Structure 1
Amino acid sequence: MNPFSLFLIRSGITIPAGVLTWFSSILFLDQTFFPSVLYAIVVGSAAYFITDGVIKHRFLKKQDLTRKEYKYINKELKGAKIKIARLNRAVFAVRHFSSLKQRIDLIRVTRKIYRLTKQEPKRFYHAEKFYYSHLDSIVEITEKYALLSTHPKKNRELQLTLRDTRNTLEQLTKSIEEDLHEILTDDIDDLHFELDVVKHTTFKKKDDNLFDESRNLK
Protein backbone atom coordinates (compact mmCIF):
# COMPACT_ATOMS: atom_id res chain seq x y z
CA MET A 1 0.00 0.00 0.00
CA ASN A 2 1.36 3.39 -0.97
CA PRO A 3 1.54 5.51 2.24
CA PHE A 4 0.92 8.76 0.38
CA SER A 5 -2.15 7.37 -1.41
CA LEU A 6 -3.47 6.06 1.91
CA PHE A 7 -2.95 9.49 3.47
CA LEU A 8 -4.88 11.20 0.65
CA ILE A 9 -7.80 8.76 0.87
CA ARG A 10 -8.07 8.96 4.65
CA SER A 11 -7.73 12.75 4.64
CA GLY A 12 -10.29 13.03 1.83
CA ILE A 13 -12.86 11.29 4.05
CA THR A 14 -11.80 12.37 7.55
CA ILE A 15 -11.57 16.15 6.97
CA PRO A 16 -14.96 16.55 5.21
CA ALA A 17 -16.62 14.35 7.87
CA GLY A 18 -15.17 16.49 10.67
CA VAL A 19 -16.03 19.80 8.98
CA LEU A 20 -19.58 18.66 8.16
CA THR A 21 -20.09 17.53 11.76
CA TRP A 22 -18.84 20.89 13.06
CA PHE A 23 -21.24 22.86 10.83
CA SER A 24 -24.13 20.53 11.61
CA SER A 25 -23.54 20.85 15.36
CA ILE A 26 -23.65 24.65 15.17
CA LEU A 27 -26.46 25.07 12.64
CA PHE A 28 -28.83 22.25 13.52
CA LEU A 29 -28.01 21.21 17.09
CA ASP A 30 -27.48 24.76 18.43
CA GLN A 31 -24.13 23.82 19.94
CA THR A 32 -21.47 26.37 20.80
CA PHE A 33 -18.08 26.47 19.15
CA PHE A 34 -16.05 24.20 21.46
CA PRO A 35 -18.60 21.34 21.80
CA SER A 36 -18.95 21.42 18.01
CA VAL A 37 -15.18 21.10 17.65
CA LEU A 38 -15.24 18.13 20.06
CA TYR A 39 -17.98 16.41 18.04
CA ALA A 40 -16.03 17.08 14.85
CA ILE A 41 -12.89 15.50 16.33
CA VAL A 42 -14.80 12.42 17.50
CA VAL A 43 -16.58 11.90 14.17
CA GLY A 44 -13.41 12.66 12.18
CA SER A 45 -11.39 10.16 14.23
CA ALA A 46 -14.08 7.50 13.79
CA ALA A 47 -14.13 8.15 10.04
CA TYR A 48 -10.34 7.88 9.94
CA PHE A 49 -10.17 4.50 11.68
CA ILE A 50 -13.13 3.06 9.81
CA THR A 51 -11.66 4.16 6.47
CA ASP A 52 -8.26 2.78 7.44
CA GLY A 53 -9.82 -0.55 8.43
CA VAL A 54 -11.82 -0.85 5.21
CA ILE A 55 -8.80 -0.02 3.03
CA LYS A 56 -6.57 -2.54 4.80
CA HIS A 57 -9.27 -5.22 4.66
CA ARG A 58 -9.73 -4.76 0.91
CA PHE A 59 -5.98 -4.67 0.36
CA LEU A 60 -5.40 -7.89 2.31
CA LYS A 61 -8.30 -9.56 0.51
CA LYS A 62 -6.83 -8.56 -2.86
CA GLN A 63 -3.40 -9.84 -1.81
CA ASP A 64 -4.95 -13.03 -0.39
CA LEU A 65 -3.16 -12.51 2.94
CA THR A 66 -4.25 -12.68 6.56
CA ARG A 67 -3.47 -9.85 8.98
CA LYS A 68 -0.94 -12.09 10.70
CA GLU A 69 0.83 -12.83 7.42
CA TYR A 70 0.86 -9.15 6.43
CA LYS A 71 2.27 -8.15 9.82
CA TYR A 72 5.02 -10.76 9.51
CA ILE A 73 5.92 -9.72 5.95
CA ASN A 74 5.98 -6.06 6.98
CA LYS A 75 8.42 -6.91 9.76
CA GLU A 76 10.69 -8.74 7.31
CA LEU A 77 10.53 -5.81 4.87
CA LYS A 78 11.57 -3.34 7.56
CA GLY A 79 14.60 -5.49 8.31
CA ALA A 80 15.37 -5.81 4.60
CA LYS A 81 15.20 -2.02 4.17
CA ILE A 82 17.94 -1.58 6.78
CA LYS A 83 20.10 -4.25 5.10
CA ILE A 84 19.65 -2.65 1.67
CA ALA A 85 20.74 0.72 3.12
CA ARG A 86 23.87 -1.00 4.49
CA LEU A 87 24.48 -2.60 1.11
CA ASN A 88 24.13 0.74 -0.63
CA ARG A 89 26.78 2.32 1.64
CA ALA A 90 29.15 -0.62 1.22
CA VAL A 91 28.78 -0.74 -2.56
CA PHE A 92 29.90 2.86 -3.01
CA ALA A 93 32.67 2.49 -0.46
CA VAL A 94 34.43 -0.13 -2.60
CA ARG A 95 37.50 1.19 -4.38
CA HIS A 96 37.41 -0.78 -7.60
CA PHE A 97 36.28 1.22 -10.62
CA SER A 98 36.01 -1.62 -13.16
CA SER A 99 33.40 -3.43 -11.05
CA LEU A 100 31.29 -0.29 -10.48
CA LYS A 101 28.68 -1.21 -13.10
CA GLN A 102 28.24 -4.66 -11.58
CA ARG A 103 27.71 -3.13 -8.14
CA ILE A 104 25.21 -0.59 -9.46
CA ASP A 105 23.29 -3.41 -11.17
CA LEU A 106 23.30 -5.26 -7.85
CA ILE A 107 21.74 -2.29 -6.05
CA ARG A 108 19.20 -1.78 -8.85
CA VAL A 109 17.98 -5.41 -8.78
CA THR A 110 17.91 -5.49 -4.98
CA ARG A 111 15.81 -2.33 -4.79
CA LYS A 112 13.52 -3.65 -7.52
CA ILE A 113 12.79 -6.81 -5.53
CA TYR A 114 12.13 -4.80 -2.37
CA ARG A 115 9.88 -2.30 -4.16
CA LEU A 116 7.80 -5.01 -5.83
CA THR A 117 7.35 -6.83 -2.54
CA LYS A 118 6.43 -3.59 -0.77
CA GLN A 119 3.76 -2.84 -3.37
CA GLU A 120 2.42 -6.40 -3.45
CA PRO A 121 3.33 -8.27 -0.22
CA LYS A 122 2.07 -11.60 -1.58
CA ARG A 123 5.18 -11.63 -3.80
CA PHE A 124 7.20 -12.20 -0.62
CA TYR A 125 6.56 -15.92 -0.88
CA HIS A 126 8.25 -15.94 -4.31
CA ALA A 127 11.28 -14.12 -2.89
CA GLU A 128 12.02 -16.11 0.28
CA LYS A 129 15.50 -17.11 -0.97
CA PHE A 130 16.29 -13.43 -1.42
CA TYR A 131 15.05 -12.29 2.00
CA TYR A 132 16.21 -15.30 4.01
CA SER A 133 19.57 -16.03 2.37
CA HIS A 134 20.88 -14.05 -0.58
CA LEU A 135 20.40 -10.56 0.88
CA ASP A 136 22.20 -11.41 4.13
CA SER A 137 25.09 -13.01 2.25
CA ILE A 138 25.59 -10.19 -0.18
CA VAL A 139 25.43 -7.49 2.52
CA GLU A 140 27.99 -9.28 4.68
CA ILE A 141 30.38 -10.01 1.81
CA THR A 142 30.10 -6.52 0.30
CA GLU A 143 30.79 -4.85 3.65
CA LYS A 144 33.90 -6.98 4.20
CA TYR A 145 34.99 -6.38 0.61
CA ALA A 146 34.59 -2.63 1.07
CA LEU A 147 36.70 -2.76 4.23
CA LEU A 148 39.50 -4.77 2.59
CA SER A 149 39.49 -2.66 -0.57
CA THR A 150 40.39 0.44 1.47
CA HIS A 151 43.55 -1.22 2.82
CA PRO A 152 46.47 0.99 1.71
CA LYS A 153 48.92 -1.88 1.12
CA LYS A 154 47.60 -4.82 -0.85
CA ASN A 155 49.90 -7.82 -0.92
CA ARG A 156 49.38 -10.78 -3.25
CA GLU A 157 47.23 -12.69 -0.77
CA LEU A 158 44.92 -9.74 -0.26
CA GLN A 159 44.63 -9.11 -4.00
CA LEU A 160 43.67 -12.77 -4.54
CA THR A 161 41.10 -12.52 -1.75
CA LEU A 162 39.59 -9.38 -3.31
CA ARG A 163 39.45 -11.07 -6.72
CA ASP A 164 37.71 -14.14 -5.27
CA THR A 165 35.28 -11.88 -3.43
CA ARG A 166 34.42 -10.05 -6.67
CA ASN A 167 33.73 -13.41 -8.34
CA THR A 168 31.51 -14.43 -5.43
CA LEU A 169 29.64 -11.14 -5.62
CA GLU A 170 29.13 -11.70 -9.33
CA GLN A 171 27.61 -15.12 -8.65
CA LEU A 172 25.38 -13.70 -5.93
CA THR A 173 24.25 -10.95 -8.28
CA LYS A 174 23.15 -13.64 -10.76
CA SER A 175 21.29 -15.41 -7.95
CA ILE A 176 19.48 -12.21 -7.05
CA GLU A 177 18.57 -11.66 -10.71
CA GLU A 178 17.05 -15.15 -10.63
CA ASP A 179 15.14 -14.13 -7.50
CA LEU A 180 13.71 -11.18 -9.42
CA HIS A 181 12.72 -13.46 -12.27
CA GLU A 182 10.99 -15.77 -9.78
CA ILE A 183 9.00 -12.83 -8.38
CA LEU A 184 7.92 -11.86 -11.90
CA THR A 185 6.98 -15.42 -12.92
CA ASP A 186 3.23 -14.86 -12.57
CA ASP A 187 3.44 -11.59 -14.53
CA ILE A 188 5.42 -13.30 -17.28
CA ASP A 189 2.88 -16.14 -17.48
CA ASP A 190 0.02 -13.62 -17.61
CA LEU A 191 1.77 -11.72 -20.39
CA HIS A 192 2.29 -14.90 -22.40
CA PHE A 193 -1.39 -15.72 -21.99
CA GLU A 194 -2.42 -12.23 -23.14
CA LEU A 195 -0.09 -12.47 -26.14
CA ASP A 196 -1.54 -15.85 -27.09
CA VAL A 197 -5.06 -14.44 -26.88
CA VAL A 198 -4.12 -11.43 -29.04
CA LYS A 199 -2.38 -13.64 -31.60
CA HIS A 200 -5.31 -16.04 -31.73
CA THR A 201 -7.78 -13.18 -32.14
CA THR A 202 -5.67 -11.50 -34.83
CA PHE A 203 -5.17 -14.68 -36.82
CA LYS A 204 -8.85 -15.58 -36.54
CA LYS A 205 -9.82 -12.14 -37.80
CA LYS A 206 -7.45 -12.48 -40.75
CA ASP A 207 -8.84 -15.92 -41.56
CA ASP A 208 -12.39 -14.58 -41.41
CA ASN A 209 -11.44 -11.70 -43.73
CA LEU A 210 -9.80 -14.08 -46.18
CA PHE A 211 -12.89 -16.31 -46.11
CA ASP A 212 -15.18 -13.32 -46.78
CA GLU A 213 -12.98 -12.18 -49.65
CA SER A 214 -13.00 -15.63 -51.22
CA ARG A 215 -16.79 -15.77 -50.97
CA ASN A 216 -17.09 -12.35 -52.61
CA LEU A 217 -14.85 -13.46 -55.48
CA LYS A 218 -17.14 -16.39 -56.13
Structure 2
Amino acid sequence: MKALIAGLTVLALATPVSLPAAPAHRPTGTPAPKPVAIAPVPKPPVQLPVFEFMGQTTEAPPTMTELQGAKCVTSNSRYTCTNVSFPTVAGRPMRYLQIAFFNERLYAVSAAFGELAYQPVLEAFTAKYGKPDKVEVRKWQSKAGATFDNQVSIWNFSGGGTLELQSMGSQVGEGRFDFISTTNAPPTEAPKVDF
Protein backbone atom coordinates (compact mmCIF):
# COMPACT_ATOMS: atom_id res chain seq x y z
CA MET A 1 0.00 0.00 0.00
CA LYS A 2 2.85 2.38 0.90
CA ALA A 3 4.47 1.66 -2.46
CA LEU A 4 1.25 2.50 -4.30
CA ILE A 5 0.90 5.83 -2.47
CA ALA A 6 4.56 6.69 -3.10
CA GLY A 7 4.15 5.87 -6.80
CA LEU A 8 1.06 8.06 -7.13
CA THR A 9 2.82 10.94 -5.34
CA VAL A 10 5.81 10.78 -7.75
CA LEU A 11 3.47 10.65 -10.73
CA ALA A 12 1.49 13.65 -9.47
CA LEU A 13 4.65 15.70 -8.92
CA ALA A 14 6.00 14.81 -12.36
CA THR A 15 2.83 15.85 -14.23
CA PRO A 16 3.19 19.34 -15.76
CA VAL A 17 0.64 21.88 -14.60
CA SER A 18 -0.24 24.95 -16.65
CA LEU A 19 -1.13 28.05 -14.69
CA PRO A 20 -3.12 30.96 -16.10
CA ALA A 21 -1.08 33.97 -17.22
CA ALA A 22 -0.60 36.73 -14.70
CA PRO A 23 -2.84 39.74 -15.23
CA ALA A 24 -1.36 42.68 -17.14
CA HIS A 25 -0.18 45.58 -14.99
CA ARG A 26 -2.20 48.78 -14.90
CA PRO A 27 -0.43 51.95 -15.88
CA THR A 28 0.68 54.01 -12.89
CA GLY A 29 -2.00 56.35 -11.59
CA THR A 30 -4.93 54.32 -12.92
CA PRO A 31 -7.36 53.54 -10.12
CA ALA A 32 -8.26 49.94 -9.51
CA PRO A 33 -11.77 49.05 -10.69
CA LYS A 34 -14.35 49.16 -7.93
CA PRO A 35 -16.00 45.87 -7.13
CA VAL A 36 -19.61 45.70 -8.20
CA ALA A 37 -21.98 44.37 -5.57
CA ILE A 38 -24.50 41.99 -7.00
CA ALA A 39 -27.55 41.63 -4.83
CA PRO A 40 -28.99 38.13 -4.69
CA VAL A 41 -32.29 37.79 -6.46
CA PRO A 42 -34.89 36.84 -3.85
CA LYS A 43 -36.93 33.77 -4.62
CA PRO A 44 -40.63 34.48 -4.92
CA PRO A 45 -42.64 33.00 -2.04
CA VAL A 46 -44.34 29.73 -2.79
CA GLN A 47 -48.04 30.41 -3.20
CA LEU A 48 -50.14 27.74 -1.65
CA PRO A 49 -53.38 27.00 -3.45
CA VAL A 50 -56.70 28.34 -2.33
CA PHE A 51 -58.66 25.61 -0.59
CA GLU A 52 -61.28 23.96 -2.80
CA PHE A 53 -63.59 21.12 -1.81
CA MET A 54 -66.39 19.70 -3.95
CA GLY A 55 -66.34 22.79 -6.16
CA GLN A 56 -66.55 25.23 -3.23
CA THR A 57 -63.70 27.65 -2.49
CA THR A 58 -62.87 30.14 0.23
CA GLU A 59 -62.93 32.98 -2.30
CA ALA A 60 -66.35 32.60 -3.91
CA PRO A 61 -70.00 32.44 -2.82
CA PRO A 62 -71.47 28.96 -2.38
CA THR A 63 -72.82 27.28 -5.49
CA MET A 64 -74.31 24.19 -3.87
CA THR A 65 -77.91 23.92 -2.70
CA GLU A 66 -77.54 20.36 -1.47
CA LEU A 67 -74.76 18.04 -0.38
CA GLN A 68 -75.08 14.63 -2.00
CA GLY A 69 -78.86 14.64 -1.53
CA ALA A 70 -79.15 16.58 1.76
CA LYS A 71 -80.57 20.12 1.57
CA CYS A 72 -78.49 23.08 2.70
CA VAL A 73 -79.97 25.47 5.28
CA THR A 74 -79.55 29.14 6.11
CA SER A 75 -79.50 30.56 9.62
CA ASN A 76 -78.52 34.23 10.15
CA SER A 77 -75.32 34.76 8.12
CA ARG A 78 -74.51 31.05 8.08
CA TYR A 79 -75.24 28.65 5.26
CA THR A 80 -74.61 25.02 6.15
CA CYS A 81 -74.74 21.81 4.14
CA THR A 82 -74.75 18.63 6.25
CA ASN A 83 -75.19 15.04 5.19
CA VAL A 84 -75.36 12.18 7.69
CA SER A 85 -76.57 9.56 5.19
CA PHE A 86 -73.10 8.21 4.39
CA PRO A 87 -71.86 10.79 1.88
CA THR A 88 -68.63 9.84 0.11
CA VAL A 89 -65.17 11.38 -0.05
CA ALA A 90 -62.36 9.63 -1.94
CA GLY A 91 -64.87 6.90 -2.81
CA ARG A 92 -65.33 6.05 0.87
CA PRO A 93 -68.43 6.52 3.01
CA MET A 94 -68.27 9.24 5.66
CA ARG A 95 -70.25 9.05 8.89
CA TYR A 96 -71.11 12.69 8.34
CA LEU A 97 -69.90 15.52 6.12
CA GLN A 98 -70.53 19.20 6.75
CA ILE A 99 -69.60 22.23 4.66
CA ALA A 100 -70.22 25.63 6.26
CA PHE A 101 -70.25 29.18 4.90
CA PHE A 102 -70.34 32.53 6.68
CA ASN A 103 -71.20 35.75 4.84
CA GLU A 104 -71.17 33.85 1.53
CA ARG A 105 -67.65 32.41 2.01
CA LEU A 106 -66.54 28.87 2.82
CA TYR A 107 -65.08 28.70 6.31
CA ALA A 108 -65.32 25.07 7.47
CA VAL A 109 -65.46 21.51 6.18
CA SER A 110 -65.55 18.54 8.54
CA ALA A 111 -66.14 14.83 8.28
CA ALA A 112 -65.76 11.62 10.26
CA PHE A 113 -65.14 8.21 8.75
CA GLY A 114 -64.35 4.61 9.64
CA GLU A 115 -60.69 3.79 10.17
CA LEU A 116 -60.43 1.91 6.84
CA ALA A 117 -61.10 5.16 4.96
CA TYR A 118 -58.09 6.97 6.47
CA GLN A 119 -55.48 5.84 3.92
CA PRO A 120 -57.66 6.45 0.81
CA VAL A 121 -58.59 9.93 2.11
CA LEU A 122 -54.91 10.72 2.84
CA GLU A 123 -53.94 9.59 -0.67
CA ALA A 124 -56.74 11.63 -2.27
CA PHE A 125 -55.85 14.77 -0.30
CA THR A 126 -52.16 14.32 -1.20
CA ALA A 127 -53.05 13.89 -4.88
CA LYS A 128 -55.22 17.02 -4.85
CA TYR A 129 -53.35 19.34 -2.44
CA GLY A 130 -49.78 18.00 -2.57
CA LYS A 131 -47.75 16.61 0.30
CA PRO A 132 -48.82 17.82 3.74
CA ASP A 133 -46.89 20.77 5.13
CA LYS A 134 -46.52 18.91 8.39
CA VAL A 135 -47.09 15.38 9.68
CA GLU A 136 -47.05 14.74 13.39
CA VAL A 137 -48.09 12.08 15.85
CA ARG A 138 -50.27 13.20 18.75
CA LYS A 139 -51.33 11.08 21.68
CA TRP A 140 -55.05 10.26 21.64
CA GLN A 141 -56.81 8.98 24.74
CA SER A 142 -60.10 7.09 24.86
CA LYS A 143 -62.73 7.66 27.53
CA ALA A 144 -61.53 4.41 29.16
CA GLY A 145 -57.99 5.81 29.39
CA ALA A 146 -56.31 3.79 26.62
CA THR A 147 -53.81 5.82 24.58
CA PHE A 148 -53.14 5.55 20.85
CA ASP A 149 -50.92 7.29 18.31
CA ASN A 150 -52.95 9.74 16.23
CA GLN A 151 -51.25 10.55 12.94
CA VAL A 152 -52.13 14.10 11.91
CA SER A 153 -51.39 15.48 8.42
CA ILE A 154 -51.66 19.27 8.04
CA TRP A 155 -52.01 21.35 4.88
CA ASN A 156 -51.86 25.18 5.00
CA PHE A 157 -53.60 27.18 2.30
CA SER A 158 -53.31 30.77 1.13
CA GLY A 159 -55.91 32.99 2.71
CA GLY A 160 -55.44 31.57 6.21
CA GLY A 161 -56.92 28.09 5.90
CA THR A 162 -55.72 24.85 7.48
CA LEU A 163 -56.78 21.29 6.72
CA GLU A 164 -56.07 18.60 9.34
CA LEU A 165 -56.55 14.91 8.62
CA GLN A 166 -56.43 12.74 11.75
CA SER A 167 -56.24 8.97 11.94
CA MET A 168 -58.17 9.10 15.25
CA GLY A 169 -61.44 11.03 15.58
CA SER A 170 -63.84 11.33 18.48
CA GLN A 171 -63.87 7.57 19.17
CA VAL A 172 -61.82 4.42 18.61
CA GLY A 173 -62.03 3.19 15.02
CA GLU A 174 -62.89 6.62 13.62
CA GLY A 175 -60.81 9.16 11.71
CA ARG A 176 -61.73 12.73 10.82
CA PHE A 177 -60.73 15.76 8.83
CA ASP A 178 -61.39 19.44 9.44
CA PHE A 179 -60.74 22.51 7.34
CA ILE A 180 -60.99 25.92 9.00
CA SER A 181 -60.53 29.29 7.30
CA THR A 182 -59.45 31.82 9.93
CA THR A 183 -60.17 34.60 7.44
CA ASN A 184 -63.78 33.59 6.71
CA ALA A 185 -64.80 32.19 10.11
CA PRO A 186 -67.57 33.92 12.04
CA PRO A 187 -66.44 36.08 14.95
CA THR A 188 -66.20 34.40 18.31
CA GLU A 189 -69.29 35.10 20.34
CA ALA A 190 -68.92 36.43 23.87
CA PRO A 191 -70.06 33.97 26.52
CA LYS A 192 -73.64 34.47 27.61
CA VAL A 193 -73.66 35.42 31.26
CA ASP A 194 -77.30 35.41 32.33
CA PHE A 195 -76.99 34.45 35.95
The normalised TM-score by structure 2 is 0.19
Larger-Rg structure = 2
Structure with the larger helix share: 1
Structure with more contact order per residue of length (Cα contacts < 8 Å, sep ≥ 6): 1
The normalised TM-score by structure 1 is 0.17
Structure with the larger strand share: 2
